Structure formats: structure tokens, C-alpha cells
Amino acid sequence: MRVLVVDDRLDNRYLLVSLFKGHGFQVDEARHGDEALAKARNLPPDLVVSDLLMPVMDGYSLLRQWRADDQLKAIPFVVYTATYTQEKDRKLALELGADAFVVKPTDPDDFMAQMRHILGQAQAGTLKPPALSPDTEPSYKLYSEVLVRKLESTSIELQARIEELTQSQEHIQRLNRLYASLSETNQAIVHITDPDELFHRVCRIAVECGGFSLAWIGLLDKARGDIRLKASFGEGASWFAGEQPFYTNDALRLPVQFAVSDEQIFLCNDLANCSPLDAYRELLDKANFRSAASLPLRLKGELIGAITLFAAQKGFFDDALEALVKEIAGDLSYALDNFAKEQERRESEERLKASEAANRLNARALEASANGVMICDIETNKYPIRHVNPAFERITGYSGVEVLGRDPGFLLGKDLDQPGMVELRSAIKDRRETGVVLRNYQKDGSLFWNELTMAPVVDDTGTVTHFVGVINDITERKRYEAQLERQYNEDALTGLASRNLLRDRVNQAIAFAAHQHKKIALLFIDLDGFKRINDSLGHLVGDAILCAIAERVRATTSDMDTCAHLSADEFAVLLTDLVRPQRALAVANDLLLAINQPLTAAGRQFDMTASIGISLYPEDCRDYDSLIGNADTAMHHAKEAGRNTVRFYAASMNAEALHRLNLDSRLRRAIDQNELLLHYQPLVRVSTGRVTDAEALIRWRGSDGKFISPVDFIPLAEETGLIIPIGEWVLRTACAQTQAWTQEIGVVLRIAVNLSARQFRAKDLVKTVVQVLADTGLPASQLKLEITESALMEDAAKAASILLELKRLGVTVSIDDFGTGYSSLAYLRQFPIDQLKIDRAFVQDVTRHADSAVIAKSVVELASQLRLETVGEGVETQEQQAFLQSVGCDLIQGYLFSRPLPAEEFAALLRAQMQPIASV
């Protein structure tokens, strides 16, 4: 069905168009009657909905011409109006042949029902024009009334436009005058070099060109705490010349005082109603002052006075004029700054000349010095170099010509944040001598350590005029110190921290942790069976293995952690800032995994494992020696427990950690011993009643045959990182099984696999998915990944980019447990997702709480508008199913239809579903 919406206002059209489109209509739009006729003749609609008041051709004319057009006249015409709502309007519209007259706004559902009714009648050929009451006046009379009303409103509009135009003409004149005075002021600034003369000229320009009655400039006299007249021009200027000193005349002074004491612009467009000036009303009236402005003048940002302007018109300053006078005041301040700078430059030139003589005397000594020397001038915040000696050129690599006039700060390169700089800056500010060590950079960018002495130079009057800097290049000394430090801190073979550095770091960490009430953990790592390799294959091979392991240890931990090589096959890792000991366990498990990756050295493959002991501060001990001793003891327990495993130092092991650890090591084995399996729960498509999707849910049958719930072990696996291999196993198994079903049973099923937050963030996720799809042959369109809302929110920007990559692969993305988090659907919309799973808790409430039902309904509706599929999860009763069906949920999952099933049982269910189709 095609609808033509005619309305001159875009927002009105938008509402109607969305409403019709939402109900599956095709919609054309026109802005007035003329356009509507043209469009309809080109492509006749099934229905037209038109506004009445429109430019070019109004709705009445459109309606008349519509009914007169043989091609269009049978098409139903609905008038939809907000302006013409009187009974007469309705009569006229119906008289002219409208099929309905609807007044805006109207309830969308009622409106659509009415439209469908009219369309239905039109199709059936039973559309009758609505009945008119017998007393209807003739249509020409009604129409002329409408025209009169239209004319009336147009003439009011025109009247308003004319008034507007007159006002703006006056305003333009005023603006023009001020532009002229701005330009004159700038001319004056360029040409005049004496401030007093400039002040006078500016006042004169304001009056002669700018249309002000009086302009005057006053400067602050700090000693008297008062404002002194500097220049004035215009009416009433004679007041200033009177025998009374000007500053006793409050009427003139007040605006300035506002400007000066508040450091803000004073602006008054109606002096007659400015109560602080009440006492001077007579004076102001006599002078015919109606508006006033006073603008602060500044020198180097500091307030020094104000320029004040009086005008004879009330309401003189509008926004544009205010901006212009501000500009004039700003230009004036700028000119004052320049005067001051020029003055300073002249003075410093003179000073330099005076000191040149002295310089010449010292020059010889300077040239001969082995230390670099530079002499710097003192300007505001800058210290331009005036002289350097040959040693400076040698040390820095810059020639004198290159550096003269530059601030010596350039020697710091980009390395600005140095501890010595704080002291240096403060010494320069206080004009005192100082010595600091800085990292400086030569012309070619290479670093040199500069032991710098800066001393002020005083002239005859005792003022500091220059600074002398003596540069001592101590790079060699620093290098030697660094080498010593490295030998002390770094393990020569692996580059990891030495035992010494570890001790320092542990002591620091303990001091810090004690203060912050944080925990720290020390992991003691001992390679299993290393001695045998070293003895049988020699030190070279042994060293290569140690270096490779060191690299893995480093890569597995973060920059914040300290990794140390203690001796031959012993390593240690210090973890600071721990909130819970579980993180230590997670890192230890990661280390075991990393160490256990196949390793090649000297052309041979090795399968290394390690045993790790963990001790904790403050639980186990309070100093370095006992911390490392206890970690060592725990490591031996790990060895006894069969190697390739982790143990906490026993004293700190609370029951909870033990339980987790136990669970953790059992879970580790579960993977190898095939104790993990998948169950599959069908999802039924509401529209067809068929199983089109399934969710893979992990099951763990322990060695004792008992099932352990994923709710108990998935969070642990997530914490320890085991979720990564387990998750990959789930993905692979589920994809392979689904592909097998396609081939064996012929059912193209979409399989949903749950991703935990850590899996979702793992950097290899997309790569793993691509690999698994390639290995199993499952098309990407048959894989759906379920991610919880909270996993998305952890880092929204990153999540969005991962989702985009998955989307590009063609994989479906579903938001699991929707409704439990805090994000709104509108927010989720920014992510490229395909499906929402309404959380079980919600589904269970829909038949119990009216609120939940309303929320669930609106979620499904909004989701469908965003083109997201919806799944109702945990459906256990007929009532829940009926409700979800009624609100338009796409898929249903829950015990009502089926529990999660072992693969064979699920296959049987699929086959059963195939039966009726096969027999057709």
C-alpha cells in the first residue's frame, strides 16, 4: 500500500511517515498541494493524507483539484489539520469531497485504525463520503471565510516584518558608525607612539565617528586608590575642567568604578532606571545621557583603568555593538602592551651596552675555560642566550650562531619533566645561584649529563641583568655509575632482575603495602628436571633454555610486576597491589601454561614444566627473608604434589583457597581426562514451532561420576585463566558437532556458544573463531556467540571493535541475560549485535508482576524496531510461553520445551523433527 503525505512542515511529515512505515506502508512525501498533484499523477497512491495550511497550494485547493482529476478522484483523501479545526472547516473539507477530517494530534492506534478502515472500504468499492448535516452553508461561502482568515493572518505577519525591518535599519546605521570608529582607532594605534596622545585621539574618534556623546579615559592611581582622568572628549567634557577635581563627581565616576572594582564591563542601556545613579538624575538628564558603557583597560593583563562612553539613545548597546566597543577597548590594551614592550626593549639595549665593556674584560678567561659557559639575558619568562664559549659549542654540538637569542631550554629536548628543573626554575625566579644535574641533548640528539651551575649577574645598581651558566659534561661518570648499578640490579644471563634488585623491590613493596593495607605475593618458580638437562647436554643448551623461560616469565607478567632470576633454575615473581590472593594463583597458572609450551633449543624440542610456591604478605610473613623462604617451602610442596603445579605456603591457606585450588587442579586434569562434555538445549522458533537453534552448555562429570555445575567452576576458570583453553574446547566441540548434524541429519542448525568476559577480551578471540570455523567446516552463519551485557560494558570502545570484527566474519552476536545489567537498549544499540536473550528472572516474573510484563513487552517491541531478534530464556510454563508469543518474541528456550540434552538425545530430537518433512 502506498500513502502520500502532504504537509509543509518536516517534523509533521516525519511523524506520519514513520507511523505509516512502521505499519508496513510505502510512503511518498510532498510539501504542498502542487507537489502532491505532480507526484500523485506520476505515481498514484492508495491514500492521501494532507494538511490544510500550506504555502504555494493549500489543502482545500489540492482537495478541489484532486476531486476534479479523473485519474485521482477515486483515491481516498484524508484531511489532517491542527490549525483549521472549527466545525466550518470540517464542513468545507467534507463538502469539497474529503473522506475524513482528522484533527491533530490524534492517538496513533486510532488514526491507523481509521486509515485502514477507509482503505478497506476503498478497495471494496464501498467508500462513501461522510454525511453532511442538512444546514450546511454553500461551499463557496465557507471557502471565502477561510480565505479571509488566511489573509488576516498574512497581513499581521507582514506588519511584524515591516517593524522588524525599520528597527534593523537604524541598527545597521549605528553599527556602521562604530565599525568606522574601530577602523579609525586602529589607524591611530598604528601611527601614534605616545600613550597620552593616543588616549585623546580615541576619545575624539568615539564621539566624532562613533556617535557617542561623551568618551573619557581614566587610569587607576594606585597610591591614592582612585581613578585619574587621562583624556576626554564630547559633551560635558567641560565638567572635567571645572574647579572641582573630577573624581568628586560620582555621576561620572560610578560606571568606571563598576568596571574597575569588578574588573568587568559595565553596561547600562537605560540610565534613567539605574538606581545607583538616582542622585545624579538631574545632571544626566541635562546632559541627555541615556546609555553608558565602561570597559576595563589592561596592561600585560593587569587592570590599569577604563574607557567610558555615554550615548544619548536609550538601548544603545545591543550584542553587536557591545562586541564592537569591547574590541575597541581590547585594541587599546594591546597598544598599551606594545608601548610597554618597546620601552623595555630600549632599556635593556642600554644595559647591554653598559655591560659590554665589562664583558670584553672577562672574555679571554671565558674562551679559555674547559667548561661550557653561556650568558643569558633576562626577559619576561625567557632567557635568550647572548654569549657562549667554544667549550659550549664542543659539548653541545651547536655553534654560537645557532643558539644566540634562543632560550637555553632547547637543550632539554622533549625531556622536560626532570627533577632538576624544579630547583632551577625556582632559583632563577628568586634570582639566586644553584647547581643541578640535567639530561641535555646534543645537536645530533644524543644525551649528555649536564652538571649545571647557574649564577645571577648584578649590575651597578644591584639589579640582576643576566645569568651565567657553567656546563660540566658528566656523561662518562654517569655511564660508569649506571653500569655499576646494572651489574648490581640485573641478571647478566637473562636480563631479568637480580636477587639484589628483587630484595630492594620487595622491601619497597612491603613498606608501601603496609601503608596502603594492600597485599603482596612472591612466586617462587623452580623448573622441573632442569639439572638433568644441564648435566647431560651442557651449559650452552641449559643457558638457552633459561633465557627462553625468562622471556616467557616476563611476557606472562605485567610491567608492574618484578621478575627475577635467582639462580640456575630458580625464578621469582613479585606481585604488588593485590586485592585478593586469587590473582597470584591466576598468574601462577598462566606461568605454568606458558612454561609448558613446547620449547626448542639447540635444535631439540623440550617439554618443560615448573613447580611454583606462593607466599603472601602480610598473611605469611613480614620481611623479605621469610617471604622468599616461605615461597621456597611452598614450591617444595608443589614438587611433592607431583610437579607442574602450584602451592600456597601452608600457613596462609584458608579453606576457601584450598577448595578452589583443589577444584582448580581437578579442572586442569578434567580437560585431559575427557571429563568435560557439552549438552545442547533447543531453541524453538515461535513462528514455525520448529527447533532452529541450540545453545551449547558445558557439563563436567568428575572422576567420581558426579556432575559439577558450570555455575561453580566457570567463575573459577575465569579467574585463573583456564577459561581460555576450556572455552576453545567448547567452541571447537560445539562447531564440530553442529557440522556433523548438518551432514548426518540434514538439519542446518545455528549453535550458540557462551563467551565469558575474559574470553571476549582475550586478544586471540577473533583468530580462534576463524581457525575453529576453518577446521570444523561450519559456516560462520551457523555460529552464534553469547556475551553478557556486563562483559560488553567493561570497555565499551574495545567491545565495539571486537564485535565489528566478529560481525564481519558473519557470526551472530547475542546479548545474554539481558535485563540484569543497567544498560538501556538504546545504549546497546551502538554495538553491532543481532539478538537479545531476555533473562530467565524476567521471564519468570512476566506472569507474576504486571510491571515485568510491561517491561518485557516494550523490550521486545523496541528490539524488533532495532531489528534485533529476541529470545525468551528459562520458559517453564505455558503461561510464560503464551505471553512471550503474544508480545512477538522470536525464539523460546526453556524446560517447558526441553532441558539441555546430551548430544545423542538432541540428535534424536532433530531426527524426530525431520520426520514429517521427510514424509511430505
Q: How far is the CB of 872 from ligand C2E (least distance, A)?
A: 10
Q: Which is nearer to ligand C2E, 129 or 725 (CB)?
A: 725
Scanning 89-97, 400-408, 639-647, 894-902 for contacts with ligand C2E by CB under 6 A, the matching segment is 894-902
Q: Which is nearer to ligand C2E, 581 or 900 (CB)?
A: 900
**Counting Cβ atoms within 10 Å, is residue 149 exposed (0-12), middle (13-18) or buried (19+)?**
middle
Output phi, psi for 566, to 5 deg.
-90, -50
Cβ distance 670 to 702 under 8 Å?
Answer: yes
Rounded Cα–Cα distance for residues 392 and 372 (Å): 4
Q: How far is the CB of 835 from ligand C2E (least distance, A)?
A: 13
* 698 touches ligand C2E (CB under 6 A): yes
Q: How far is the CB of 814 from Ca ion (least distance, A)?
A: 8
Q: How far is the CB of 712 from ligand C2E (least distance, A)?
A: 9
**Relative orientation angle of helices 765-776 and 723-745, to the nearest 10 degrees:** 30
| Strand ranges in 646-734 using DSSP code E only, listed in sequence order | 646-648, 676-685, 690-701, 707-708
Q: Which is nearer to Ca ion, 333 or 754 (CB)?
A: 754
Question: Pattern of binders to ligand C2E over 170-209, x per CB under 6 A?
Answer: ----------------------------------------
Contacts of 357 (CB under 8 A, 6+ apart): none
* 816 touches Ca ion (CB under 5 A): yes
Q: Report helix, strand or coil for 902.
A: strand
Which of 151, 895, 914, 917 binds ligand C2E (CB under 6 A)? It is 895
**Counting Cβ atoms within 10 Å, is residue 16 exposed (0-12), middle (13-18) or buried (19+)?**
buried
Question: Pattern of binders to Ca ion over 694-713, x per CB under 5 A?
Answer: --------------------
Rounded Cα–Cα distance for residues 820 and 814 (Å): 15
Radius of gyration for the chain, computed over Cα atoms and rounded to the nearest angstrom: 44
Q: How far is the CB of 739 from ligand C2E (least distance, A)?
A: 18
Alpha helices in 10-138 (DSSP H): 10-22, 33-42, 59-68, 87-95, 108-124
Residues 832-861 that bind ligand C2E (CB under 6 A): 840
Q: Which is nearer to Ca ion, 751 or 799 (CB)?
A: 751
Which of 450, 738, 754, 852 binds Ca ion (CB under 5 A)? It is 754
Which of 498, 754, 812, 870 binds ligand C2E (CB under 6 A)? It is 754
Scanning 94-102, 434-442, 703-711, 863-871 for contacts with ligand C2E by CB under 6 A, the matching segment is 703-711
Q: Which is nearer to ligand C2E, 393 or 876 (CB)?
A: 876
Cβ distance 421 to 438 under 8 Å?
Answer: yes
Torsion of CA 160, 162, 164, 169, to 10 degrees: -170
Q: Which is nearer to ligand C2E, 71 or 709 (CB)?
A: 709
Contacts of 88 (CB under 8 A, 6+ apart): 137, 142, 145, 146
Rounded Cα–Cα distance for residues 709 and 711 (Å): 5
Which of 183, 709, 865, 885 binds ligand C2E (CB under 6 A)? It is 709
Which of ligand C2E, Ca ion, none interacts with 709 (beta carbon under 5 to 8 A by kind)?
ligand C2E
Task: Give the closest residue to 1 by CA, choosing from 167, 112, 85, 90.
Answer: 112
**Counting Cβ atoms within 10 Å, is residue 832 exposed (0-12), middle (13-18) or buried (19+)?**
middle
Scanning 70-78, 446-454, 628-636, 785-793 for contacts with Ca ion by CB under 5 A, the matching segment is 785-793
Q: How far is the CB of 841 from Ca ion (least distance, A)?
A: 10
* 789 touches Ca ion (CB under 5 A): no
Q: How far is the CB of 757 from ligand C2E (least distance, A)?
A: 9
**Relative orientation angle of helices 499-516 and 475-489, to the nearest 10 degrees:** 80
Measure the N-to-C terminal CA separation of the chain; round to a whole number of Å. 35
In the bound state, the residue with its beta carbon closest to ligand C2E is 894
Task: Give the closest residue to 791 by CA, choosing from 760, 752, 751, 830.
Answer: 760
Q: Which is nearer to Ca ion, 526 or 817 (CB)?
A: 817
Enter the DSSP assignment of 490: B
Q: How far is the CB of 833 from ligand C2E (least distance, A)?
A: 16
Rounded Cα–Cα distance for residues 291 and 274 (Å): 10
Total H helices, total E strands in the chain? 32, 32
Q: How far is the CB of 876 from Ca ion (least distance, A)?
A: 14
Cβ distance 2 to 43 under 8 Å?
Answer: yes
Scanning 400-408, 742-750, 765-773, 783-791 for contacts with Ca ion by CB under 5 A, the matching segment is 783-791
Which of 108, 529, 710, 888 binds ligand C2E (CB under 6 A)? It is 710
Rounded Cα–Cα distance for residues 299 and 330 (Å): 10
Cβ distance 234 to 205 under 8 Å?
Answer: no
Question: Pattern of binders to Ca ion over 852-891, x per CB under 5 A?
Answer: ---------------------x------------------
Rounded Cα–Cα distance for residues 773 and 779 (Å): 7
Scanning 145-153, 452-460, 552-560, 872-880 for contacts with ligand C2E by CB under 6 A, the matching segment is 872-880
Question: Pattern of binders to ligand C2E over 650-689, x per CB under 6 A?
Answer: -------------------------------x--------
Rounded Cα–Cα distance for residues 831 and 332 (Å): 55
Scanning 229-237, 750-758, 852-860, 863-871 for contacts with ligand C2E by CB under 6 A, the matching segment is 750-758
Q: Which is nearer to ligand C2E, 613 or 872 (CB)?
A: 872
Cβ distance 541 to 549 under 8 Å?
Answer: no
By CB under 6 A, how many residues form the interface with ligand C2E? 23
CA angle 578, 654, 639 (to 5 degrees): 85
Which of 232, 611, 756, 782 binds ligand C2E (CB under 6 A)? It is 756
Scanning 43-51, 121-129, 660-668, 871-879 for contacts with ligand C2E by CB under 6 A, the matching segment is 871-879
Which of Ca ion, ligand C2E, none interacts with 613 (beta carbon under 5 to 8 A by kind)?
none
Distances 325 to 142, 332, 472, 796 between C-alpha atoms, Å: 57, 11, 56, 49
| Strand order across the beta sheet in which 447-458 lies | 385-388, 372-377, 464-473, 447-458, 434-441
Q: Which is nearer to ligand C2E, 422 or 677 (CB)?
A: 677
Q: Which is nearer to Ca ion, 631 or 791 (CB)?
A: 791
Q: CB count, 10 Å around CB of 132?
A: 11
Q: Which is nearer to Ca ion, 696 or 762 (CB)?
A: 696
Alpha helices in 606-654 (DSSP H): 624-640
Which of ligand C2E, Ca ion, none interacts with 905 (beta carbon under 5 to 8 A by kind)?
none
Q: How far is the CB of 877 from Ca ion (least distance, A)?
A: 18
* 44 touches ligand C2E (CB under 6 A): no
Which of Ca ion, ligand C2E, none interacts with 273 (beta carbon under 5 to 8 A by kind)?
none
Residues 219-258 that bind ligand C2E (CB under 6 A): none
* 702 touches ligand C2E (CB under 6 A): no
Which of 594, 874, 881, 892 binds ligand C2E (CB under 6 A)? It is 874
Which of 817, 845, 869, 890 binds ligand C2E (CB under 6 A)? It is 817
DSSP 342-395: HHHHHHHHHHHHHHHHHHHHHHHHHHH-SSEEEEEE-BTTB--EEEE-HHHHHH
Task: Give the closest residue to 32 by CA, choosing from 2, 3, 53.
Answer: 53
Judged by the rule CB under 6 A, the positions of this chain that interact with ligand C2E are 681, 697-698, 709-711, 714, 727, 730, 754-756, 786, 816-817, 840, 874-876, 893-895, 900
Interacting residues with Ca ion (CB under 5 A): 754, 786, 816-817, 873
